[in-house]
């Protein structure tokens, strides 16, 4: 009796700890919190920090572009630096206004409103955000013009997805921000984040001239061992975990997991495909969701399964849901593609191909009427497995509209392998060299 | 009938009575009154001289206001003319200047116009009707009546500052018709017996006259109105230096000729104030020189010598101006600070010529007076008698005015009227120096003035007692003993932060000015700096300090709590100087362009005509900077009355959201009105096409002209058409990048109006760039010679963009600073640092990006090249590349990837723009192209 009760209590504690693990790790993978210190990009981070420091301390206006591929940590670096500037303990007085504008601001008008809002300037006009774009621009420029180097608080503008701003009309916002940064007005630091290496070519010449041409490239040269180390760090529990025994066990489990040969292979494959850390977080998240009270550790099998889910081909998966008729049409299209070397086809051609197959087999099982085939064809089009050739107008009848197949042969073959209860003759037809 | 009159009023103008006199030279008849009758109505209106009238203007709702001074017609009787004294409405004062007022102007308020820039002779037929103009005391509130026909005058306006105007000027009958008073001098404001300003002159010459016993009531008033003293002396102190300055400029032959000279001067002083102070000090020195030869500092001597290059007799005259100014600005200042300042002047003077002990108790030092009398023997002879007669009456007026000012209101007035100070110099310049000189001694000898002097002495004693009651500020300023005075001055100097190594003369001059001015130097500095800071463009000259109404609220970035740190080492110093935003003292390498633009604009301003100029040049060649520099110089010249005043406004095509916003912005900067684009265009059209007797030249700078292009090009058309109007007085300077913009985008009628005044700014050559950096660094030794040359050569070869050059140098200093740990380094920016900076800025990151890409990405790039080679084309579909990719994977011993994975890899490369892709919805069918050359890719992949 007592042993049973103790066991129950132990189980309760265990369950609680388990939930805590889930919580910590899930937050780590999904919340995208700013890390304590930037990893892998220390040099660039220092560079940016120096630059912002000069804006903050000396009131010197600057503009800089941070260029790096997706997931390289551009936003992290810039926000980290901005935050450090704003909250740095040694200089609490030199707070910066950190303005972040990004993808959501699809044109200058919205971006300006957002800037005004973030600068807390909208109160100056009696609590109403005023009407026209022109007024708004004049208002903001006036505000910035009134400041000067020594007395105004520096403002940090972070322009996320900088290249999209370059597509705004006349690049008005960029021109004005850079112009402020190049004239004796309120000190500003304009930080543009982009993943385009050719972003300077997008700028208009006078905008370009006003930009200081500083670029910080965030190009990670991560090795596999470092990558592995980061995976381990991501999965490990922190030292502050309440039950140290549990934490030790968990961390030990992670150690063994990472040393597993198959796990290493999976990770290597992910590493080869992308050094970006966000993809691995995705993978680890899938792993974590397979952990339960009944199965309290991550097994190599979990990782393999998660990896399979991650890397699976979306289009091939879609093929699994098709009917036999639709699959047959796809196979017919594949044959047509083989015969005509990728030339477009229309429904009539596909139907003919299909009829040839039926004749050979002399099996009435797949005898469908024209409307039924038409319907199946349309369904394929809706799934975007086939798409009409550009430029073919709606004038032509649907049966004769030219189409292209959006699938690779390997995808079709893979799907056929896995298709449940696929008729053998269909399989053979697909594999045969001629239709 | 009524209907008719409303539609179109036709007025008939007739002289009333016989001509009063006949001017033989001009062949004109003078009349006393004019009769206006409206056709169809029996009633007639009579306009007599001295009456206030409304005159037709461009704004029908707000016709011009003026006072008739003289009415005359030609022999034939066809031409009827009137000489008028203008008043300006609130709406006519530029918005930026309205802020000088320091309060909300009243709807019905008008200002006595003191500038001579406009014609005061109008066609009598433009007179609409008489109007009631009332003079109000500075402190008196505006009556609440809604009577539209009554206008109120409190202040005068001379296109620079507001000044309190005297009731006599406004309401009394004018001086005899033969001498129209276009400026306030002839109709001198009174110096009432109780008015402190008169004390100053009086104190100089009372030895010969018996001092009347002071009237107790007046004493009381004087005690309460002690501020007046400081007020007046303040203006006196200010007037001195300004006068000197303007004379200084007169000695130069022409503004443009001396420009380079001036600019050299300008580089010597940091704030715009310095030069002026120098001069003022020198000016103060000269009387000193004459009086007692007490010059002890070498620099002062030198300055005096420099000044004496101007006509020598002018010097004493200037000095003698002081008392009269004191006298006539007296009513301006119903203000309170303390008695001290005026005393300070005396101190100063007596300090100059006699042992300081006599300084103040007995402020009448006989020698001084004698000297002054001796100096202006002709003064008394030439004084018009009329003036003396006028004095008592005006005194009365001011006295009543004084009564009206209650102590509680004084503080407010002081702040509101501070800017009025700058008025004087202009007025002085317009008078011939001889006249001024003549007036001076006379006024100083007025009986009433002497009366006051004795009162002042009493007052001093009173003030001693009052000192305890007054607040600290007043205590500071009221300094009974001379020693204290000195020390307070020293403090002032420290506060002003002028204790730099400049000349001691600056200090001295400052001290003198501060002493004479009697206002806190801080406020003085502020006002001056705000008007003269070289960094600011004239249009920004007066920025509103606090928004008054929410509608015009101009918010600002919150200010920082800790001041920005100043650069501490050479590299930081260099970096600050090299920042594009730091405006250099001069713009080297653009002298010719500067000269051309300057003379163009100057000539247009002087001739009061209009014109267009087109300036082109690639970005970063100093177009806007040069124009701003020209405007600064012109504004300076205008401030010193070398050229008529003008209005500079600036619009930038990039800073507006729509070309038509240009109208809105111009209108707002010109008049402060807010209007929609269409309405603004109409208003501007009217403004520039209608004649207006009172109009300043407007200089309009249109930056980034190409963005004002519209399909019908009406914005550009209007901008270039206005200057050609006869009455527009508009100079348009346009800036754009392309040289052939007029030919390329403008239709003929627009291009034709733009005219052929073109200027093109060539990209800087490497030598020029080098010179620019050198001049910016200004002897801060931070760069090695070779390093500078490398930067400038590199930039000159690429674009000739000065901004780029400065940015590279700035980056190089940073790199140098970070590598500063190296002990062998000289601490200077060397070749290696510059090379690194250049590499950073000019090299593309494609190769590094490929090197840092993941294995699959690199493999995909290889597959792309392989497929290109196979096809012999520079383009392939993803499907084709993917086949190659699969094959390569097998070769490399990697697990083949799925199509989805392949697409992800491809998209990532596309996001970096290593590949150019079609929209991703095309899936496997999307076409792929390389954005880098194949060789670069192979190089990057091989070197691994």
Closest partner CB to A172 (pick from B654, B737, B908) = B654
Does residue A391 form part of some domain?
yes
Task: Clarify whether residues A65 and A203 are in a common domain.
Answer: yes
For residue A320, the domain's CATH number is 1.10.10.10
Select, from the ranges A343-357, B130-144, B234-248, the one with the highest average predicted confidence (pLDDT): A343-357
Phi and psi, residue B166, nearest 5°: -90, 145
A residues 61-120 closer than 8 Å to B (CB): 61, 67, 69-70, 91, 93-95, 97, 108, 119
Among candidate residues A191, A217, A243, the one where a domain is terminated: A217
Residue A102 has pLDDT above 60, yes or no: no
**CA–CA distance from A302 to each of A274, A286, A294, A296, A305 (Å)?**
21, 8, 14, 12, 5
Among candidate residues A253, A283, A311, the one where a domain is terminated: A311
Closest CA to B13 of B63, B58, B60, B68: B68
Task: Clarify whether residues A62 and A125 are in a common domain.
Answer: yes
Which of B127-136, B427-436, B651-660 shows the lowest mean pLDDT across its residues? B427-436
Between B198 and A61, the higher pLDDT residue: A61
Task: Clarify whether residues A95 and A186 are in a common domain.
Answer: yes
Which of A306-320, B146-160, B304-318, B707-721 shows the lowest mean pLDDT across its residues? B304-318
In angstroms, the CA B309 to CA A106 distance is 66
Per-residue confidence (pLDDT) for residue B285, from 0 to 100: 43
Task: Clarify whether residues A208 and A227 are in a common domain.
Answer: no
**Total Cβ atoms within 10 A of residue B357:** 10
Does residue A3 form part of some domain?
no
Contact flag B581-A182 (C-beta cutoff 8 Å): yes
Contact flag B849-A151 (C-beta cutoff 8 Å): no
A residues 361-420 closer than 8 Å to B (CB): 384, 387, 404, 406-408, 410-411
- Band of the pLDDT at A167, cuts 50, 70, 90? confident
Among chain A residues, the shortest Cα distance to B653 is held by A172
Under 8 Å between Cβ of B52 and B67: yes
Pairing of strands B697-703, B730-736: parallel
In angstroms, the CA B205 to CA A73 distance is 83
Q: What is the mean pLDDT of residues B900-919?
A: 90
Q: What is the mean pLDDT of residues B723-727?
A: 86
Q: What is the mean pLDDT of residues B573-596?
A: 83
Give the side-chain half-sphere CA count within 13 A for B692.
23
Per-residue confidence (pLDDT) for residue A290, from 0 to 100: 86
User: Which of B557, B616, B650, B675 has the highest number of chain A CBs within 10 A, making it the mutation to test binding with A?
Assistant: B557
Name chain A contacts of B916, Cβ cutoff 8 Å.
none
Contact flag B619-A208 (C-beta cutoff 8 Å): yes
Select, from the ranges A89-103, A154-168, B269-283, the one with the highest average predicted confidence (pLDDT): A154-168
Task: Clarify whether residues A333 and A282 are in a common domain.
Answer: no
- Band of the pLDDT at B394, cuts 50, 70, 90? very low
Q: What is the mean pLDDT of residues B567-572?
A: 76
Percent of chain B past pLDDT 70, that is, above it, reads 52
In angstroms, the CA B41 to CA B396 distance is 43
Per-residue confidence (pLDDT) for residue B243, from 0 to 100: 42
pTM: 0.63
Task: Clarify whether residues A197 and A142 are in a common domain.
Answer: yes
Task: Clarify whether residues A117 and A198 are in a common domain.
Answer: yes
Per-residue confidence (pLDDT) for residue B595, from 0 to 100: 92
Q: What range defines the domain where residue A229 resides?
A: 222-311
| Cβ of residue A339 closer than 8 Å to a chain B Cβ | no
Which of A80-84, B196-200, B893-897 shows the lowest mean pLDDT across its residues? B196-200
Percent of chain A past pLDDT 70, that is, above it, reads 87
Degrees, nearest 5: CA angle B268-B270-B275? 65
Residue A105 has pLDDT above 60, yes or no: no
Does residue A273 form part of some domain?
yes
Per-residue confidence (pLDDT) for residue B610, from 0 to 100: 87
Task: Clarify whether residues A63 and A172 are in a common domain.
Answer: yes
In angstroms, the CA A204 to CA A198 distance is 13
Per-residue confidence (pLDDT) for residue B825, from 0 to 100: 56
Residue B182 has pLDDT above 50, yes or no: no
Express each pLDDT in A256-295 by its tens digit: 888 889 999 989 988 888 888 788 888 888 888 888 888 8
Identify any residues that bridge with B155 across adjacent strands, giving them in sequence order: B164
- Total count of domains within chain A: 3
In angstroms, the CA B841 to CA B808 distance is 8
Residue A6 has pLDDT above 80, yes or no: yes
Residue B371 has pLDDT above 60, yes or no: no
Pairing of strands A386-388, B915-917: unpaired
**CA–CA distance from A275 to each of A197, A228, A262, B856, B889 (Å)?**
18, 11, 19, 10, 18
| Cβ of residue A152 closer than 8 Å to a chain B Cβ | yes
In angstroms, the CA A17 to CA B611 distance is 83
Select, from the ranges B47-51, B345-349, B503-507, B828-832, the one with the highest average predicted confidence (pLDDT): B828-832
Does residue A430 form part of some domain?
yes
Task: Clarify whether residues A337 and A377 are in a common domain.
Answer: yes
Under 8 Å between Cβ of B608 and B644: yes
Does residue A32 form part of some domain?
no
| Cβ of residue A346 closer than 8 Å to a chain B Cβ | no
In angstroms, the CA A96 to CA A62 distance is 14
Structure tokens at B894: 């990697």
Does residue A7 form part of some domain?
no
Closest CA to B242 of B338, B182, B158: B158
Pairing of strands B127-130, A403-405: unpaired
Contact flag A155-B557 (C-beta cutoff 8 Å): yes
Between A79 and B893, the higher pLDDT residue: B893
Residue B491 has pLDDT above 70, yes or no: no
Task: Clarify whether residues A72 and A209 are in a common domain.
Answer: yes
Which of B79-83, B216-220, B609-613, B889-893 shows the lowest mean pLDDT across its residues? B216-220
Contact flag A91-B553 (C-beta cutoff 8 Å): no
| Cβ of residue A129 closer than 8 Å to a chain B Cβ | no
Contact flag B559-A153 (C-beta cutoff 8 Å): yes
In angstroms, the CA B665 to CA B677 distance is 9
Residue B454 has pLDDT above 90, yes or no: no
Per-residue confidence (pLDDT) for residue B409, from 0 to 100: 43
Task: Clarify whether residues A101 and A198 are in a common domain.
Answer: yes
Count how many pairs of residues, chain A against chain B, have C-beta atoms within 8 Å: 235
Structure tokens at B692: 């207006």
Does residue A251 form part of some domain?
yes
Express each pLDDT in A194-214 by its tens digit: 888 888 888 998 899 999 888
Among candidate residues A261, A292, A311, the one where a domain is terminated: A311
Residue B289 has pLDDT above 70, yes or no: no
Does residue A409 form part of some domain?
yes
Task: Clarify whether residues A239 and A287 are in a common domain.
Answer: yes
In angstroms, the CA B58 to CA B698 distance is 17
- Mean residue pLDDT of chain A comes to 81
Q: What is the mean pLDDT of residues B792-819?
A: 88
Per-residue confidence (pLDDT) for residue B404, from 0 to 100: 41
In angstroms, the CA B578 to CA B488 distance is 39
| Cβ of residue A264 closer than 8 Å to a chain B Cβ | no
Between B15 and B430, the higher pLDDT residue: B15
- Mean residue pLDDT of chain B comes to 66
In angstroms, the CA A334 to CA A386 distance is 11
Name chain A contacts of B886, Cβ cutoff 8 Å.
410
In angstroms, the CA B639 to CA B633 distance is 10
């Amino acid at each position: 009796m007592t042993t049973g009760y103790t066991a129950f209590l132990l189980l309760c504690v265990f369950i609680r700890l388990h939930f805590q693990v889930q919580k910590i790790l899930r937050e780590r993978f999904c919340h995208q919190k700013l890390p304590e210190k930037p990893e892998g990009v220390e040099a660039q981070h220092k560079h940016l920090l120096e630059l912002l420091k000069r804006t903050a301390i000396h009131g010197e206006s600057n503009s800089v572009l941070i260029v790096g591929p997706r997931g390289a940590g551009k936003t992290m670096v810039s926000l980290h630096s901005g935050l450090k500037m704003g909250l740095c303990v040694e200089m609490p007085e030199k707070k910066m206004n950190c303005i972040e504008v990004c993808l959501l601001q699809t044109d200058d008008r919205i971006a300006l409103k957002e800037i005004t809002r973030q600068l807390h300037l909208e109160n100056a006009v009696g609590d109403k955000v005023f009407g026209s774009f022109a007024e708004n621009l004049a208002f903001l420029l006036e505000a910035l013009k009134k400041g000067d180097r020594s007395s105004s608080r520096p403002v940090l503008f972070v322009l996320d997805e900088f290249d999209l701003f370059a597509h705004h009309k006349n690049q008005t916002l960029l021109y004005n921000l850079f112009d402020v940064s190049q004239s004796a007005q309120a000190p500003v630091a304009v930080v543009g984040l982009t993943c385009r290496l050719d972003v300077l070519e997008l700028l208009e010449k006078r905008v370009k001239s006003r930009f200081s041409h500083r670029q910080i490239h965030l190009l990670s040269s991560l090795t596999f061992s470092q990558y592995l180390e980061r995976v381990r760090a991501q999965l490990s529990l922190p030292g502050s975990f309440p039950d140290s025994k549990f934490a030790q066990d968990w961390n030990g489990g992670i150690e063994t997991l990472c040393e597993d040969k198959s796990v290493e292979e999976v990770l290597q494959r992910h590493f080869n495909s992308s050094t970006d850390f966000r993809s691995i977080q995705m993978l680890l998240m899938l792993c974590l969701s397979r952990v339960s009270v009944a199965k309290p550790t991550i097994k190599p099998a979990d990782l393999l399964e998660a990896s399979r889910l991650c890397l699976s081909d979306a289009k091939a998966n879609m093929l699994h849901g098709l009917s036999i008729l639709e699959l047959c049409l796809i196979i017919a299209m594949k044959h047509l593609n083989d015969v005509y070397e990728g030339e477009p086809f229309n429904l009539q051609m596909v139907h003919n191909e299909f009829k040839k197959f039926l004749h050979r087999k002399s099996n009435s099982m797949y005898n469908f009427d024209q409307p039924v085939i038409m319907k199946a064809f349309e369904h394929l089009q809706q799934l975007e497995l086939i798409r009409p050739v550009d430029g073919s107008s709606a004038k032509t009848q649907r049966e004769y509209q030219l189409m292209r197949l959006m699938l690779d042969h390997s995808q079709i073959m893979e799907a056929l392998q896995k298709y449940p209860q696929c008729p053998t003759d269909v399989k053979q037809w697909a594999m045969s060299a001629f239709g | 009938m009524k209907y008719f009159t409303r539609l179109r009023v036709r007025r008939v103008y007739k002289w009333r009575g016989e001509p009063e006199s006949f001017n033989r030279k001009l062949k004109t008849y003078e009349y006393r009154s004019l009769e206006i009758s409206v056709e169809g109505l029996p009633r007639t209106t009579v306009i007599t001289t001295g009456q206030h009238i409304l005159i037709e203007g461009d704004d029908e709702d707000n016709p011009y206001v003026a006072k008739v001074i003289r009415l005359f017609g030609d022999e034939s009787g066809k031409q009827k003319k009137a000489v008028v004294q203008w008043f300006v409405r609130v709406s006519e004062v530029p918005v930026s200047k309205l802020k000088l007022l320091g309060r909300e102007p009243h709807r019905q308020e008008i200002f006595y116009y003191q500038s001579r820039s406009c014609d005061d002779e109008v066609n009598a037929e433009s007179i609409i009707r008489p109007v009631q103009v009332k003079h109000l005391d500075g402190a008196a509130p505006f009556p609440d009546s809604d009577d539209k026909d009554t206008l109120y005058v409190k202040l005068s306006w001379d296109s620079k500052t507001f000044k309190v105007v005297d009731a006599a000027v406004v309401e009394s009958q004018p001086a005899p018709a033969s001498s129209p008073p276009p400026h306030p001098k002839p109709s001198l404001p009174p110096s009432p017996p109780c008015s402190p300003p008169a004390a100053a002159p009086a104190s100089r010459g009372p030895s010969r006259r018996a001092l009347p016993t002071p009237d107790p009531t007046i004493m009381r008033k004087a005690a309460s109105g002690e501020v007046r003293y400081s007020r007046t002396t303040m203006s006196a102190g200010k007037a001195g230096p300004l006068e000197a300055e303007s004379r200084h400029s007169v000695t130069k032959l022409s503004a443009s000729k001396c420009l380079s000279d001036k600019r050299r001067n300008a580089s010597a002083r940091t704030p715009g104030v310095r030069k002026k102070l120098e001069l003022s000090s020198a000016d103060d020195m000269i009387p000193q020189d004459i009086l007692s030869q007490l010059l002890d500092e070498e620099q002062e001597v030198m300055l005096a010598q420099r000044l004496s290059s101007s006509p020598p007799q002018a010097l004493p005259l200037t000095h003698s101006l002081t008392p009269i100014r004191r006298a006539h600005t007296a009513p301006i200042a119903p203000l309170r600070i303390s008695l001290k300042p005026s005393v300070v002047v005396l101190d100063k003077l007596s300090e100059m010529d006699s042992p300081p002990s006599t300084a103040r108790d007995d402020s009448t030092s006989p020698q001084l007076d004698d000297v002054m009398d001796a100096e202006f023997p002709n003064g008394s002879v030439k004084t018009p008698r009329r003036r003396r007669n006028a004095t008592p009456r005006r005194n009365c007026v001011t006295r009543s005015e004084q009564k009206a000012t209650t102590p509680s209101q004084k503080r407010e007035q002081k702040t509101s009227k501070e800017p009025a100070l700058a008025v004087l110099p202009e007025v002085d310049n317009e008078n011939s120096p001889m006249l001024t000189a003549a007036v001076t001694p006379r006024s100083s000898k007025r009986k009433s003035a002497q009366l006051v002097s004795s009162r002042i002495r009493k007052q001093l004693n009173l003030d001693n007692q009052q000192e305890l009651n007054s607040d600290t500020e007043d205590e500071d300023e009221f300094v009974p003993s001379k020693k204290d005075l000195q020390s307070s001055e020293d403090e002032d100097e420290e506060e002003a932060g002028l204790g730099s190594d400049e000349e001691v003369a600056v200090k001295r001059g400052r001290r003198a000015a501060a002493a004479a001015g009697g206002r806190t130097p801080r406020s003085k500095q502020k006002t001056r700096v705000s008007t003269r800071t070289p960094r600011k463009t004239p249009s920004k000259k007066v920025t509103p300090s606090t928004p008054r109404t929410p509608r015009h609220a101009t918010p600002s970035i919150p200010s920082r709590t800790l001041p920005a740190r100043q650069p501490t080492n050479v590299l930081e110093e260099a970096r600050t100087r090299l920042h594009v935003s730091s405006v250099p003292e001069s713009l080297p390498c653009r002298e010719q362009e500067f000269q051309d633009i300057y003379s163009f604009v100057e000539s247009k301003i002087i001739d009061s005509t209009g014109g267009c100029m087109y300036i082109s040049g690639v970005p970063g060649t100093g177009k806007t900077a040069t124009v701003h520099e020209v405007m600064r110089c012109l504004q300076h010249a205008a401030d010193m009355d070398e050229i008529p005043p003008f209005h500079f406004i600036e619009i930038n095509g990039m800073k507006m959201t729509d070309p038509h916003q240009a109208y809105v912005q111009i209108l707002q900067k010109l008049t402060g009105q807010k209007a929609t684009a269409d309405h603004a265009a109409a208003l501007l059209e009217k403004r520039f096409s209608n004649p207006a007797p009172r109009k300043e030249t407007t200089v309009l700078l249109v930056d980034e002209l190409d963005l004002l292009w519209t399909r019908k090009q009406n914005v550009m058309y209007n901008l270039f058409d206005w200057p050609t109007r006869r009455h527009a007085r508009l100079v348009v300077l346009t800036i754009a990048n392309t040289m052939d913009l007029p030919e390329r985008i403008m239709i003929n009628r627009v291009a034709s109006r733009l005219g052929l005044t073109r200027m093109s700014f060539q990209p800087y050559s490497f030598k020029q760039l080098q010179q620019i950096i050198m001049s910016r660094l200004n002897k801060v030794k931070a760069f090695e010679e070779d390093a500078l040359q490398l930067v400038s050569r590199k930039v000159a070869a690429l674009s000739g963009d000065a901004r780029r050059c400065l940015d590279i140098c700035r980056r190089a200093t940073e790199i140098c600073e970070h590598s500063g740990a190296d002990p062998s380094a000289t601490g200077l920016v060397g070749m290696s640092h510059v090379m690194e900076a250049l590499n950073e800025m000019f090299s593309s990151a494609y190769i590094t990006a490929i090197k840092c890409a993941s294995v699959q990405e690199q493999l995909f790039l290889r597959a792309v090249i392989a497929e290109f080679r196979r096809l012999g084309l520079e383009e392939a579909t993803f499907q084709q590349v993917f086949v190659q990719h699969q094959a390569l994977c097998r070769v490399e011993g990697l697990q083949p990837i799925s199509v989805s994975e392949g697409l992800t890899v491809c998209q990532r490369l596309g996001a970096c723009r290593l590949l150019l892709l079609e929209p991703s919805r095309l899936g496997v069918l999307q076409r792929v192209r390389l954005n880098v050359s194949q060789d670069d890719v192979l190089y990057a992949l091989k070197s691994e």
